[in-house]
Amino acid sequence: MEFNFSFDASPKPAVDVNAPLFASVAGTATDLGNGECVFRTTDGPHVMTTQVLGALDRCRAFRTLDEHIQTIQQVIPGVPLDGIKRVLDGLISRRLLVSEVDFLAGLKAGASRATEPAATLAIRACDRPEAVKQCLDALRQQSLPPDMPILLVDDSRTSAARDAHHKLLADSGLPVRSAALETRLAALRKALPEHAAVIDDLFVGAGNGRNFNRALLAGAGRQLVLLDDDFVFDLHRHPEYKPGLDLALSANLPVRFFDDLGAALASGTADAGALAEHRRRCGQSLAGLLELEGLQETRGALRGLEPSNLPHLRPGARIVATVNGHRGRSGSMRCEGYFELDATSRSSLVATRDRYLRSIENPALWVGPTKAHLARRVNFTPFVVDATDMLGFAAPEGRSEDAFLVR
């Protein structure tokens, strides 16, 4: 049996990685026959040969023109270099190949927010006075804006827990009070009498979703900082924290396993300014966020990204909410999270049978990215929510508030 292989072993010219980046715009193609097609974009239709379409398709990601040329030569061998250059120049003139600079400039339609909106801090509590006390103690150490009201949204099942929470509020020395929403609920029922039953189902009674909805209603028209009663300040940066912002959408949150709770809580570096940084970004336009992160003027920020896979990067887009990671105990960790453990954590988790069984029942871990990124969905309740505009509500029961950011 014989096999024949052919490949191009000729040396490739050096590529200037600092040269401008270009990528093909998003669109759809329809075959016209006779080797021609029409490529439709938001700017209108463009007729071209299928060979030119093939070249355009190979330029999806932001790379230098020299890199695009090398890719096309590998896929369509025998095409003269001058011909490829003329095709790419033509695609640029037709705005079917867009430069990184022009792409980022197109996002500036949404101006940065001039001032931060007023904010409300809401603590969701449920039958855990010890946790509420710890949360209030931590809040006393924070430099909170003096005009930020603190509300306790109580979902406790027992009167003893509610009474204990009320006493903790009175003794805290903080401007904190129980959320009284009857006035707002009455206004909703009056404005929407035909939906009174739905309003009661969304807001009245026990349930994680209803408690989340009551917090949203309490913060309506403002920025909402949302804490669960077991929230611990200060927030910590990831042990392998990297500055910057990843513009590609991602729902993956890496997981690191720890042998004990103390090690998980102590990991990373305390960041006393984390709340302020979350507030600065929540509600920002995409253009404002890029400016905050210093990406508007950073060459190479989009390298490797494909506009066709970045529908969220559009003028007018804004940050609806921010989410922090999780460190400590987690009784609600998704089973697939164990597949995201790093190699060291996996080895520690399965070192002995007893450790494995003990850890999967109540793991000590860190869940969160090493670098900030954009996401359509996360599996944690949002930290800061832009409630200045009307937002959707969570399902009354279950943990649907953890999927609040799904779009």
What pLDDT shows up at residue 406? 43
Instruction: Give dist(CA 171, CA 162) in Å, integer.
Output: 14
Residue 322 · residue 384 · CB < 8 Å: yes
What pLDDT shows up at residue 12? 60
Instruction: Give dist(CA 216, CA 213) in Å, integer.
Output: 5
What pLDDT shows up at residue 316? 79
What is the amino acid identity at position 353? R
Quote the strand ranges of 3-144, DSSP E.
21-24, 28-33, 36-41, 44-49, 63-64, 97-99, 119-125
119-125/223-228 β-pairing: parallel
Instruction: Give dist(CA 401, CA 213) in Å, integer.
Output: 9
CATH class of 21-108: alpha beta
Which of helix, strand or coil describes residue 211?
helix
269-271/235-237 β-pairing: antiparallel
Of 316, 305, 296, 247, nearest to 105 by C-alpha is 296
Angle between helices 182-191 and 196-203 (to 10 degrees): 150
Which of helix, strand or coil describes residue 198?
helix
Ordered DSSP codes for 257-320: EESSHHHHHH-SEEETTHHHHHHHHTT-BHHHHHHHTT-TT-TTTTTT--GGG-TT--TT-B--
Q: What is the pLDDT along the chain (407 residues), one digit of tens a residue?
A: 565 655 555 556 666 768 999 999 999 999 999 999 999 998 899 999 999 999 999 999 999 999 999 999 988 878 899 999 999 999 999 999 999 989 888 887 655 666 778 899 999 888 999 999 999 998 988 888 888 888 888 888 899 999 999 899 889 888 887 777 888 899 889 999 999 999 999 988 888 788 888 888 888 888 999 998 888 888 899 888 888 888 887 766 777 878 788 888 888 899 988 999 999 999 888 888 888 887 766 678 889 999 888 888 887 788 889 988 888 776 555 555 666 677 777 787 788 888 778 777 777 888 888 888 888 777 778 899 998 887 778 887 766 665 555 43
For the entire predicted model, the pTM comes to 0.80
Alpha-carbon distance values, 136 to 130, 139, 152, 211, 325 (Å)? 10, 5, 10, 19, 20
326-329/119-125 β-pairing: unpaired
* Domain locations along the chain: 21-108
